[in-house]
């Protein structure tokens, strides 16, 4: 395990890169006929090997006191619940708009960390917060709806994911003050698995499901990037302040957008382009 002053940066960069690639390819299995709800189940299962590795590192001795269990499960259920809502939002709206909007969730984590954990910030980061909020306005503009999107339902779901993930980041940092990072991830895995019956219930099995290589197997290859990114995020929060770690991990949608626009040969409209640029600038200011 790395033990330098830049340990948090290494783990945060791994999260950023893995989540950015994950976001760009997450829609492919669904478009191939594998429902997003079953994609959630696959994601929860890919959390298991990561949790096994984490538990092995700490000698299979996670914290089991009441506070640790509550904090761990809270982080897990907030993250997993957000994942379920994210898949539904992606079903209704385009990934290259949904992801940048959700990516602003570090703003909420920062505010909570400054207020309750007394983490210090500076003028540059507050400018980043303001730009992030302005970017959200552009990204949420009704004129950005594209053919095939279902009205503004995806927007409401995206905002809810924003809130849940923002609070999750704060809870993870609180937990890291008294718990092993590996224990937090184990409980996050449990939270994800607890919601798998809900995902299965949400699945419309009247529609044919692609059980081939481009179905669950491709989904597993994509979702494992998400799981590894979640594990390295917990480690990043162990060694760094949430007000720096979370915005840096929030750079991932910039990678997602760049890859998505290339893969799908899309050109962003003026308002979307302004929103994307503001979001990128905001997250960079928060991360430096």
Residues 102-117: tens digit of each pLDDT: 777 888 888 899 899 8
Q: What is the pLDDT of residue 137?
A: 67
In the predicted structure, residue 91 carries a pLDDT above the cut 80: no
Mean pLDDT of 40-58: 96
Q: What is the pLDDT of residue 147?
A: 41
pLDDT band at 3 (very low <50, low <70, confident <90, very high): very low
Low-confidence winner among 2-11, 163-172, 234-243 (lowest mean pLDDT): 2-11
In the predicted structure, residue 146 carries a pLDDT above the cut 50: no
pLDDT band at 140 (very low <50, low <70, confident <90, very high): low
In the predicted structure, residue 4 carries a pLDDT above the cut 60: no
Q: What is the pLDDT of residue 288?
A: 63
Query: CA nearest 102: which of 7, 13, 183, 26?
Result: 26
Q: What is the pLDDT of residue 58?
A: 95
d(CA 67, CA 92): 37
pLDDT, tens digit, 9 for 90 and up, residues 19-35:
889 988 888 898 899 99
Q: What is the DSSP letter of 1?
A: -
Q: What is the pLDDT of residue 287?
A: 64
Low-confidence winner among 139-153, 167-181, 229-243 (lowest mean pLDDT): 139-153
Chain Cα centroid distance, residue 254: 13
Token pair for residue 2? Answer: 């790395």
Mean pLDDT of 108-132: 84
Cβ–Cβ under 8 Å, residues 235 and 181: yes
d(CA 179, CA 63): 7
Q: What is the pLDDT of residue 143?
A: 47
> What's the whole-number average pLDDT of the chain?
84
Q: What is the DSSP letter of 95?
A: H
pLDDT, tens digit, 9 for 90 and up, residues 213-252:
999 999 999 999 999 999 999 999 998 888 878 877 777 7
pTM of the model: 0.82
DSSP 211-253: -SIIIIIHHHHHHHHHHHHHHHHHHHHHHS-HHHHHHHHTTHH
Q: What is the pLDDT of residue 96?
A: 66
């Amino acid at each position: 395990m790395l033990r330098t002053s830049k340990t948090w940066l290494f783990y945060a960069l791994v999260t950023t890169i893995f989540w950015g690639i994950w976001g760009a390819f997450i829609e492919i299995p669904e478009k191939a006929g594998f429902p997003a709800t079953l994609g959630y189940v696959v994601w929860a299962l890919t959390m298991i090997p990561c949790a096994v590795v984490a538990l092995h590192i700490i000698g299979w001795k996670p914290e089991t006191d009441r506070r640790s269990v509550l904090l761990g499960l809270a982080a897990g259920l907030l993250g997993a619940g957000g994942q379920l809502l994210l898949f539904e939002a992606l079903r209704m709206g385009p990934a290259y708009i949904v992801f940048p909007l959700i990516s602003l969730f570090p703003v909420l984590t920062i505010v909570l960390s400054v207020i309750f954990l007394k983490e210090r910030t500076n003028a540059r980061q507050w400018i980043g917060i303001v730009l992030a909020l302005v970017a959200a306005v552009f990204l949420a503009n009704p004129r950005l709806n594209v053919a095939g999107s279902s009205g503004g339902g995806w927007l409401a779901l995206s905002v809810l994911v924003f809130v849940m993930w923002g609070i999750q980041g704060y809870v993870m940092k609180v937990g890291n003050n008294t718990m092993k990072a590996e224990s937090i991830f184990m409980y996050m895995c449990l939270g994800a698995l607890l919601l798998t019956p809900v995902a299965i219930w949400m699945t419309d099995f009247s529609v044919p499901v692609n059980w081939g290589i481009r179905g669950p197997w491709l989904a597993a290859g994509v979702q494992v990037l998400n799981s590894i990114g979640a594990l390295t995020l917990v480690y990043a929060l162990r060694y760094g302040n949430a007000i720096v770690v979370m915005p840096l991990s929030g750079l991932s949608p910039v990678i997602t957008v760049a890859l998505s626009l290339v893969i799908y040969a899309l050109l962003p409209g003026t308002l979307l382009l302004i929103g994307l640029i503001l979001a990128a600038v905001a997250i960079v200011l928060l991360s430096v």
